[in-house]
Amino acid sequence: MLSPSLVLPLYTGTLFLSAFLLFSVQPMFTKMVLPSLGGSAAVWNTAVVFFQATLLAGYLYAHLTTRLLGLRRQMLVHGALLLLVFTALPISMAQGWIAPTDGSPVIWLVGLLGLSVGLPFFAISATAPLLQKWFSHTDHPSADDPYFLYGGSNLGSLVALLGYPILIEPLIGLRAQGWAWSVGYAILAAGILACGAFLWGRYRDTQPTEASEPVGHLIQKVTWMLRGRWLLLSLAPSALLLGVTLHIGTDIAAAPFLWVVPLALYLLSFVLVFARRPLFSHAWMLRGQVVTVTLAVLAVIWPNAGGPPASIPVLFGIHLAALFFSAMACHGELARLRPGTSRLTEFYLLMSLGGVVGGFLTAIVAPQVFDSVLEYPLALILVLLLRPMPATPIWGLWRWAANTLRLGRLQSIVTRWGVMSWGLDLAIPAALLWMFADQRWYRGIRDSLRWAANTFEWTGVTGNLIFLVFVGAVAIPLVLVSRRPLRFGLVAAVAILTLAIDLWSGGAYLLARERTFFGVYSVHTVTTRIGEFHVFLSGTTNHGAQGTLPTGRQEPLTYYTADGPAGLFFTALGRSNFTTDRMGLVGLGIGTLACRITTDARLTFYEIDGVVEDIARDQRYFHYLEDCGEKTDVVVGDGRLALAAEPDGAFGVIVIDAFSSDAIPVHMLTAEALQMYLKKLQPGGYMVMNITNHYLDLAPVVGNLAADAGLVARIMESNGWDPNRFRMPSTWAVLARTEEDLSILDGGAPWRELKADPTTATWTDDFSNIVQALRWRPF
């Protein structure tokens, strides 16, 4: 028989391990799926919604088996379920699933996730409510309030989330990860069975009724209004989590592992609020929410009102702080309103349901409804409206005095003031909304700021003073009404939805915007000293620009200028004796390479998102394909899969131009992918890779791949930056089978040999290490 002193370590360790396995399987399997879908933040968000929904199913299973089966029969059923999971191990991607090439792949991805990891994830997801319920029936001194175990469970989630990209992914391949996860699951199953065995012999029947004496601060009487509040308090932070992740990745900067930090803060809030001795006061978290959300509102409004761009670390800090304090406020309310153990599984079920609904609205519904990341400010408004009503001791005392002393006049005044206060909650935001309804006030502020930007230098004291004036104009009204949640939320809503109107309408500088499963695309008009240009952005990453005047619009810009690496390579290729009938290019952008490549070869572009082709062919914005695309085809689909379907030896040149964004398609840079490219390349052909990236140094990766395949490689880096002409820095690598093939580059251009890096492991379909490739100081 297990010693009673080991009960708490056993339950805590088992919960920790279950959460660790849950959160390690999420990035592990998502990485397995990415080769079929390319790199996209939407893949992660869809996976998160699936895992949240499966978690809900696990919590529902725990709730129903607790209610219907009784404890001992529940343990037997759960034991059988744990054994059944071994039939689905090790974790791997189901065979025979091919991603659709048209339309949204959400349904396909959800089906694949369910078939491949649904059963293991479902079985483990029930662990948290089940073990806490079991623990409440033990004779441990803390059994009457087992919610602190939930904090330990989320600590396991946090360790897995941070440990996976830093320790697991760089050291272990995907196949080995699947087997290691299976071993961890076997240990977990043994731990759960041990918890059940201990309880079997020491069961304590304790079912408090609604009339029972409350245990600590646990609520015994559960109403439907309270259930609704549980649901909303879990829904809002979940929606905010995905909203802020998309916002900072789409509208600020796209960097690898960006999703890790918001999710870590989200999980940390659970750890802190459900601890037996909370580290932070709930009141201070509510005050901090006022400050950080106000700053987040300002951060959204400021650049769209004409202010100078703030530094990226500052913007990250503001939005992440708003997420953390809002999660602490909402989850702190959940912890404060948690019920007695008789309602424990119901409490977790509604919490999980709220998380699923919030995630579903943000990851699935919002991309279909909005063409920008509008869900983020809407989630900010919701968390503000859910702030608890403040204690009002003065008015409470007056009401008590009026009722006790039967002072009818005083009672009438107090009642009238309550009505007036609720009226002000609606009247103040309504007045602000009327002021900004025709945008005259907003346009006045915006035009004044833009006049100041053109007249003065933004840097230094002038810019800081103007920023402080702007902060005061927006922040002071928010702070003044912050003690009334309804009024505060509505005023913030008015501020966001009116002052930040350019964020969604785009103002005069936004020509078009589209949002798909793969990202948010926009076309902007930019005027420089040279002339007017149209610029194509994917999130915040420039994917091409073109002058608007008919004369000179065929000149390739951005990464493809004549004196840059791409221009020099194709010029050298055109001057050589090399001939080919066909070239394959992965990544379309706006079709700039169609005008850069001047040979008679037929060009086949491979683009994963059909919307990008629509934008590139829209003659209102771009003309590269119109002017230079007589011999150009576009194939919509994943580049690696589409190339694999082509005949061997079909191409003289293969261009891989898909690595400039944050979520690079790692599956395009593996040893297996390179071997496939070689099969599709004619003798004497070239592989050309645009490895320009703000955050990743991909040169060692490409050098190792070339050495592993027995190829020779050259690299050239262009640091030229001319914003007036839209000339951008770029880095290109050229790979060939022999040195003689690369002799065309020996004409004086600064190409240098690209060698293998012994400190960097070769990437394969089974192994890659993004952390090692990070630029710790982005160029």
- 3-state SS string for 241-268: HHHHHHHHHHHHCCCCCCCHHHHHHHHH
- Amino acid 502: pLDDT: 47
DSSP bridge partners of 326: none
Check the CA dihedral 179-183-185-189 and report its sign: positive
- Give the residue carrying structure tokens 């593996």: 670
- Amino acid 461: pLDDT: 44
Instruction: Tell me the C-alpha distance between 478 and 481, whole Å.
Output: 6
- Amino acid 707: pLDDT: 94
Instruction: Tell me the C-alpha distance between 18 and 504, whole Å.
Output: 42
pLDDT 10s digits, 667-694: 888 999 999 999 999 999 999 999 988 7
What is the reported pTM? 0.73
Strands laid side by side in the 681-690 sheet: 632-636, 602-607, 582-586, 651-656, 681-690, 730-736, 712-718, 752-753
For the chain, the average pLDDT equals 78
Ranges of the chain with pLDDT below 70: 1-5, 35-45, 99-104, 201-217, 249-258, 300-312, 389-508, 659-664, 748-749, 775-779
In what helix (H) or strand (E) does residue 379 lie, and over which residues does it extend? helix 375-385
Are 255 and 280 within 8 A, CB to CB?
no
Instruction: Tell me the C-alpha distance between 248 and 227, whole Å.
Output: 32
- Amino acid 407: pLDDT: 46
- Amino acid 679: pLDDT: 94
Instruction: Tell me the C-alpha distance between 494 and 441, whole Å.
Output: 13
Parallel, antiparallel, or unpaired: how do β-strands 730-736 and 712-718 relate?
Answer: antiparallel
pLDDT 10s digits, 110-123: 888 888 899 999 99
